[in-house]
Chains A and B, each alone.
Chain A
Amino acid sequence: MCEAAGFPTSSLTCEGFVRQAAVTSVGIGMPNIPIATVPGHIGTKTAQELRDGIFEVTMDEVVTNLTVMPEAKAVASEPRARDIVVRGGLKAVNRYFVEHEYSDGLPIVPPTREDIEAFLRYTPRSPDESLGTLLPDKRAATIWSIAVNGVMAGCRPEYMPILVAMIEAMCDPVYGVEHSGNTPGADTLIILNGPIIKTLGFNYTQGVLRDGFLPNTSIGRFWRLYLRNVAGFLLHKTDKATYGNTWRVVLAENEDVLQKIGWEPNRVEMGYAAGDNTVTIARYTGGGSLSSVSGSTPEEMLPYLADSLQRFNNWQVTFTTSHGNGTLRPLAVISPIIAETLAKAGWSKADVKRYLFEHARRPAYEFERQLRDWNIRGVWDLEDDVTHARIPKVFFESDDPNRMVPIVWKAEDYMIAVSGDPLRNNAYVFAHNGFLGYPVGRKIDLPKDWDALLAQAV
């Protein structure tokens, strides 16, 4: 942005990000934008080591970057949108796709015209229509490319309306797709709601977060392939996940139970009508299961859930401070029998969220120690944020370091989904990635001849 506005710029990059910077610079149209390197990683250096690195390496590079025009760099030419890139047998096609970084390492279904067109029949949109432009590669998110990657992932053609809605959500700036290669290696969870869950045979009961059902698994894989091929997130280049995970399978809510207990499904929380089919996407850095959430009342069950939410959302409270502008949205997936027990006592989803806001808390000194001392945010504290009205007053109601502070700004920031084994009293808590994957929902638009198309599906 500074260069485009006419200001020569030197960006500072630790050694581990030099390659990412080089690839990202192509996406922004400035492949020769100059970088000044900070040797090693700044988080592990002594003060003297840091000083030596800045004075011996970084300083000269900054001066050069601002006073010497970097040489122009050529960008490799690419195929056109509808070019056939390889012809041959299954093994040859897969070898080509791996060699050209088009594949996640598993065999792909070759995207042939016949199969791509089968997907396109499930949307009234033009194949050339673009739903948006995705960073870091800044490529067009076209309907055609959705169909191609859907075929590759092993999806069935009738999943196409879901895939389109997912990519619409991916293109929403609120979601922040450009952060999908960040160091914590967060992965997207896709929450599915509506009658389409049963129509297309999604798993929404036992083992719901594990691969094993075609729609849940293949659509999860499609998401990662699309991030790779169209957004442009490649490991060792633009995807800087320190660890990362395999893609998450689609989480379908158990709407039978929700209807029975009178709780609103996720789609209503996201602003859609009760009968709509919807997807909600959000990125989570991790999480874990809660075994045996025992009790027969909310008061007996919920302390365990509240405690786990604040423990699993550990450093993620950075998104609760001014840095994240209160964008932390922890998710609790509770099993149907837990939801039924809570509802039986007259508690709504909103009641549960209010309880979590009031009880999922930690001492202020622990909150600040995590970010200021352990995550090296040296210019920040809760008092400063509250004094300057950057976060709610609840975070600094006294200067007692042992005062209990919440991990989100308001009760509505918690998200609750009901799914999993119906007769097990377990739950799963997700640690959210804040504005680096904020929850975004989209309605799934079905084609007018949906029923007829399904009847013809083979």
Chain B
Amino acid sequence: MAQNNDGYYEAYWPRAPRQQLMRELAPRLDSLEGKTVAQLWDQLFKGDVVFELLEEGLKARYPGIKFVSWRDFGSTHGGEEREVLAALPQRLKSLGVDAVISGMAC
């Protein structure tokens, strides 16, 4: 009779508990008309071109929309990333920003 050499094991979970609690998203806007939208860019993957196109299209749809250029924030990815991100909430507030478009992940 063949012997079972597969053994018996009680194996523990190899992961660890997540530390992040679930959070609510920010309230959405009723419309983009008359609102100020910030552009955040990691300065990769033609984001400068993408933001130009989005600005053109959104202005055509919402004539009163305003933009704060990615040039006013610095790169959101790179050697100074942590400093730029840490300053963001206050910076967005001081610029009167209502919403944000952030790119590019490619």
Contacts and interface: CB of A to CB of B under 8 A. Distances in A.
A31 B47 CA distance: 25
Given A82-B12, A85-B13, A8 B100 contact: yes
Contacts of A55: 53, 57
A379 interface: yes
A274 interface: no
Counting contact residues on chain A (CB < 8 A from B), the size range is: 35 or more
A380 B43 contact: yes
A45 to B, nearest CB: 9
Among B11, B44, B85, B102, the one with the most A-chain Cβ atoms within 10 Å of its Cβ is B11
Contacts of A11: 101-103, 105
Contacts of B22: 29-31, 75
11 contacts: A2-B100, A8-B25, A14-B104, A36-B101, A59-B54, A67-B29, A67-B32, A83-B13, A85-B12, A86-B10, A102-B15
B101 A10 contact: yes
Nearest to B62: A63
A51 interface: yes
B11 A10 contact: no
A2 B11 CA distance: 41
A140 B12 contact: no
Contact of B106 (A8, A16, A47): A16
Contacts of A133: 19
Interface string A97-127: 1000010000000111100100000000000
Contacts of B21: 29
B103 A70 contact: no
Contacts of A139: 15-19
Nearest to A28: B20
B27 A69 contact: yes
Contact of B16 (A38, A142, A379, A435): A142
B4 A89 contact: yes
Contacts of A145: 14-16
Interface in A27-63: 27-34, 36, 38, 41-43, 47, 50-51, 54-55, 58-59, 62-63
B12 A84 contact: yes
A37 B95 CA distance: 27
Interface of A: 1-14, 16-17, 20-21, 27-34, 36, 38, 41-43, 47, 50-51, 54-55, 58-59, 62-63, 66-70, 75, 78-93, 96-97, 102, 110-113, 116, 130, 133, 137-142, 144-145, 148-149, 152, 173, 225, 229-230, 319, 322-327, 376-380, 435
Binding site of A, secondary structure by majority: helix, strand, loop or mixed? Answer: mixed
Nearest to A10: B101
Given A6-B26, A14-B45, A88 B58 contact: no
Contacts of A16: 106
A66 B28 contact: yes
Given A27-B20, A67-B32, A380-B43, A85 B48 contact: no
Contact of A112 (B12, B13, B54): B12
Contacts of A81: 13, 16-17
B15 A29 contact: no
Interface string B67-89: 00000000100111110010011
Contacts, number: 262
A85 B9 CA distance: 11
Given A2-B100, A142-B16, A7 B26 contact: yes
A10 to B, nearest CB: 5
Query: 3 tightest CB-CB pairs across the interface, nearest first?
Result: A325-B79, A12-B103, A89-B6
Given A1-B89, A29-B23, A63-B61, A140 B16 contact: yes
A84 B100 contact: no
Contacts of B38: 7
A152 B30 contact: no
A8 B14 contact: no
Contacts of A67: 28-32
Nearest to A173: B82
Contacts of B11: 84-87, 93, 96-97, 110-112
Given A29-B20, A54-B53, A87-B8, A230 B103 contact: no
Contacts of A20: 105
A374 B21 CA distance: 41
Contact of B46 (A27, A42, A80): A42
Nearest to A85: B13
B10 A84 contact: yes
Given A9-B101, A28-B20, 17 more contacts: A1-B88, A2-B26, A2-B89, A2-B92, A6-B26, A8-B28, A14-B45, A17-B106, A29-B20, A38-B103, A54-B53, A69-B25, A88-B9, A102-B15, A112-B12, A325-B79, A326-B79
Contacts of B75: 323
A113 B18 contact: no
Contacts of B48: 378-379
B45 A43 contact: yes
A2 B102 contact: yes
A69 B99 contact: no
A87 B9 contact: yes
